[in-house]
Amino acid sequence: MKIAIVIPNTTMSEAAMAERRAFLVANAAPDVELVLWRNDGGPASIETEAERDEAGIEILRNLKTRDLADIDAVIPWCAADPGLLALRQSLGVPVVGPLMAACHAASLAGERFGLVMPAGSRKLNRLRIESYGFGDKLTSVRQVDTPVLELRADLDRTLIRLGEEANAAEAEGADCIVLGCMALFGLAPRIATGIPVIDPALAALNMARPWCGLAFPIQFEIDGRCGGEFHARQPASRDARLPAWLCRADGHQGSASRYRYRRSPRRDGRACRRKWFR
């Protein structure tokens, strides 16, 4: 399978991109091929909601100009998950948000987790995690006082601060830590703490592969409008078929026996089909 990593940081050097690619390749499954694409426009780093929104637009614009026929999944390289809903609505492949993936991994590693992030808005990151459905599992959002672009300038100091905040989160009841920045890739095993630390880069990478292998249809709906679809690769059933509007371009139809359908009103008074698992 082939995964596209989109770098929203416009000033990231080729050497820095190569370092990230080497880390991902070393931790990817043997059958996974990785490509890294950098945005031509947008912010140098993402520390505010304005920068996050701008980066999300630029990621979508970047991908709209590329041929995604051989791409199986997309990962935006930012733990603020820029443009996540828009990308899922617009693209026909799974889009894995690193923060969302890390929260899922943390919910498996422990009962409650803390987020440790660089300089930025702790409140907005808490609201983002709550919107993912993990609000009751989040103990606290803690912060190291270092801007994103300076996190790897002095790794020893960064590791010390991360360890301090991780231990403070543990004292508040966390039994797992989520790192809230992709610039911290590869540092999780080196943080001096007694509880597991989730690297969002690895969480996203290792969640993309099984997601593609689950083979079930995914359709995202925002404000009542149907968006991009990721279609199942499952055998057709003789007694039940997916309706034509859920068929792949090659005419494949998967079994519809696992799904139920209803029509829900849209804001403009028209109807849009929605589905859910039984």
pLDDT tens digits for range 207-254: 998 887 775 555 455 444 444 444 433 333 333 333 443 344 444 444
What was the pLDDT predicted at 241?
38
Residue 263 has pLDDT above 80, yes or no: no
Verify that 193 and 233 share a domain, yes or no: no
Verify that 131 and 91 share a domain, yes or no: no
Tell me, yes or no, whether 54 lies in a domain.
yes
Query: Domain boundary at 97, 120, 147, which?
Result: 97
Tell me, yes or no, whether 249 lies in a domain.
yes
Tell me, yes or no, whether 212 lies in a domain.
no
Tell me, yes or no, whether 210 lies in a domain.
no
Tell me, yes or no, whether 71 lies in a domain.
yes
Query: What's at 151, amino acid-wise?
Result: L
Q: How many separate domains does the chain show?
A: 3
Residue count of the chain: 278
Residue 77 has pLDDT above 80, yes or no: yes
Q: What is the mean pLDDT of residues 92-120?
A: 93
Verify that 38 and 122 share a domain, yes or no: no
Verify that 249 and 184 share a domain, yes or no: no
Residue 177 has pLDDT above 90, yes or no: yes
What was the pLDDT predicted at 216?
54
What mean pLDDT value characterizes the chain? 82
What was the pLDDT predicted at 233?
36
What was the pLDDT predicted at 264?
44
pLDDT tens digits for range 111-127: 999 999 998 888 889 99
CA distance 225 to 272: 7
Verify that 170 and 199 share a domain, yes or no: yes
What CATH code is carried by the domain that includes residue 103? Answer: 3.40.50.12500
Q: Which domain holds residue 231?
A: 218-277
Verify that 54 and 136 share a domain, yes or no: no
Closest residue by Cα to residue 5 from 212, 214, 205: 205
Verify that 230 and 191 share a domain, yes or no: no
Tell me, yes or no, whether 192 lies in a domain.
yes
Least confident of 183-187, 255-259, 265-269: 255-259
Tell me, yes or no, whether 37 lies in a domain.
yes
Q: What is the mean pLDDT of residues 92-112?
A: 93
Verify that 230 and 249 share a domain, yes or no: yes
Verify that 182 and 255 share a domain, yes or no: no
Are 195 and 175 spatial neighbours (Cβ–Cβ below 8 Å)?
Answer: yes
